[in-house]
Structure 1
Amino acid sequence: MKTGWIVFNGNVTHSKFTELVDWLSESGKEAGFHMVKVKNNELLATIENGKAVIKGKYEKEKPDFIIFWDKDIRLARHLEKMGFKLFNNALSIERCDDKSHTFYVLADHGISMPKTIHAPLIFKNSSISDHNHLETIMEELGFPMIIKENYGSFGAQVYMIQNKEEMIAKSTELIRLGIPFIYQQYIKSSHGKDIRLHVVGDQVVAAMLRKSEQDFRANVTNGGKMMPYNPTKEQIDLAVKCSQIIGTDFCGVDLLFGPEEEPIVCEINSNAHFKNIYDCTGVDVSKFMMSYIKEKLEEPLHD
């Protein structure tokens, strides 16, 4: 029996997160794996005698695979350096976790995305002494525009900006706090509406439509309603292509609706929560994840 670790953040104790770890563990057991739930702070990434090793509770154990259900990129890279197989791999998690990085990686692949401008680096606690670049951004994006912090979940770090004063105020606030961010085109045709597609391997295994009557963000956390959705071939192909470019084994791809209903990429989530889509559609994404992992582990090794 192959052993799999589920590595998760040891300091995140809310049931919203821990129930997914338990869910993955049960699905893994049903797939025939011996599953072990491991906190990231139980794996101390250590350089000893010039080698990458792990210290702590699990230092002598060697799982056959690791589901890396966290965003501790340094630990993920360390485990890969030691030769462990991670689902998802460290690079793909890093690309998804940083929204600026996501759009940079997707660029030049024929992917439809909102016009995105990376905020120039200004060091923490500094101020904007030259507003010329803001004038250019306003000319390029107009109002309203969207400001997104590079790191964030559930739409909480996404802001609609209505005018120059709001733009300067929010930019100044984020710079003072040392938070990197992007400026982005507002897609009016998708106000309060998007699609979440769960991709596993080269398949979309579940999809739902999210709509909000009270917020420009469709996230369920912000009051959006969810309903089953039958995606078009164009939407499916785009979601799978994004996953392949980013390098994920499984992910959640959020698509917006363009003026002609054409799909536009909003963001990609490497550790996409799957409870909502299960409640909405009855599709258990975790079972597809485990089947995918089993197939990958059975593939012959190549020199």
Structure 2
Amino acid sequence: MKLLMLCREPRLYSCQRLKQSAEQRGHKMEILDPNRCLLKLTENLPHFEIDYQPQEGEPYRLPAYDAVLPRFGTASTKTGCAVLRHFQAKGIYCLNSEQAFLAARDKWRSLQILSEQGIAVPHTQLSGAEVLPKTAIRKMAEPLVIKTLNGSQGIGVVLAEQASNAVAILELLKETGVPVLLQDFVEEARGKDIRCFVIGDKVVASMQRIGPEGEFRANFHRGGSANKITLSEDEKQIAIKAAKALGLAVAGVDLIRSKQGLLVLEVNASPGLEMIEKTSGVNVALEMILFLEKAVL
């Protein structure tokens, strides 16, 4: 197969592992920045054309690919998804569609979809622009978590220990036009969560993430560590159900064990491979390529 990965940083661990695994299976893979794509709609067939502007040299028309792997970050969501939609319109298989990517990247929308499917999530609130901060937090327990609607790697997530802190943070974010959601802090989790790597109908790898001392976020990029964990069948099925609810073929599903039971914190459309591969010992990159082969060939 001739594969394309959409990513701004080809040197990242995940990108290199996927490229190596693809080549080991006899496929060719290019890694291109979606922000360098020029999308065209024409009145003549084919209607959807894509040119690419390299760092040096003249733009060129992108060739036909058998499949596209989206691996772009949150800063490139809008452009990256526009490129994905163009490829989908050309009939090219995308390992996570534009619609699924957009749903997962919006924290509130994704939680709404999960709840609609009967999947338990933490108590969460979204306030309209005219709702006063002190009104928004009126029935929230202390401490509470404030999250921007878009963000990854723990960025845009703040713990407000007291209502007065929460009001001050919300007033600042409101002034700068940053939309946020409010969420109960699950204290009994003690800075731990579970990352499940879902591919298709299977959890191929999992790990428990642990935040460093004094840090409630368990993300690897926030200095967190991880260890192996054995999931129950119910936990696996909830992770798979969450990925499917958002239409994701590949997903990183974050779970948390609470007094109320298992909760889905978040679903990531472009989960990193480094920490979970090293912790679980599973060749996740190869599993993704094998799934892609079955989907396309």
- Residue 119 of structure 1 pairs with residue 113 of structure 2: no
For residues 23-73 of structure 1, the C-alpha deviation after alignment (integer angstroms, 9 at most, x for no partner) is: 111111122212122221332112334833212345251101111112322
Q: State the distance in 2 between where 1:238 and 1:117 align.
A: 22
* Residue 229 (structure 2) pairs with residue 233 (structure 1): no
CA RMSD of aligned residues (A): 1.9
SS in 2 for 1:229: coil
Give 5+ residue unaligned stretches, structure 2.
53-58
Counterparts of 2:116 and 2:103, CA distance in 1: 16
Count of residues paired in the alignment: 282
Q: Give the SS at the match of 2:138.
A: helix
Kindly report structure 1 stretches of 4+ aligned residues shifted beyond 4 Å: none
- Superposed, 1:242-261 pairs within 5 Å as 242-259=242-259
Q: 1 CA distance for matches of 2:181 and 2:39? A: 32
**Matching residue of 2:150:** 151
TM-score (normalizing by structure 1):
0.87
TM-score, structure 2 normalization: 0.89
The DSSP-based 3-state class of the residue aligned with 1:171 is helix
> Contact conserved, 2:127 with 2:136, CA < 8 A, in 1?
no
- How far residue 117 of structure 1 moved from its aligned partner, in angstroms, is 0.9
- CA offsets, 1:257-292, max 9 Å, x none? 1116x3210101111001011111211211110110
The aligned counterpart of 2:50 is 54
CA separation of 1:64 and 1:145: change in aligned 2, threshold 3 A: same
Is 1:30 matched with 2:24?
yes
Percent identity of equivalent pairs = 24
CA distance in 2, matches of 1:156, 1:226: 19
Measure, in 2, the Cα distance between the counterparts of 1:252 and 1:138. Answer: 33
Counterpart for residue 105 of structure 1: 113
Residue 53 of structure 1 aligns to which amino acid in structure 2?
E
Alignment of 1:150-189 (within 5 A): 150-189=149-188
Structure 2 matches for 1:246-285, cutoff 5 A? 246-259=246-259, 262-285=261-284
Q: Show the counterpart of 1:87.
A: 95
CA shift for structure 1 position 136:
5.2
* Change in CA separation of 1:121 and 1:284 when aligned onto 2, cut-off 3 Å: farther
Which runs of 5 or more structure 1 residues have no equivalent in the other structure? 123-129, 299-303
**1:90 and 1:28, CA in 2 relative to 1: closer, same or farther beyond 3 A?**
same
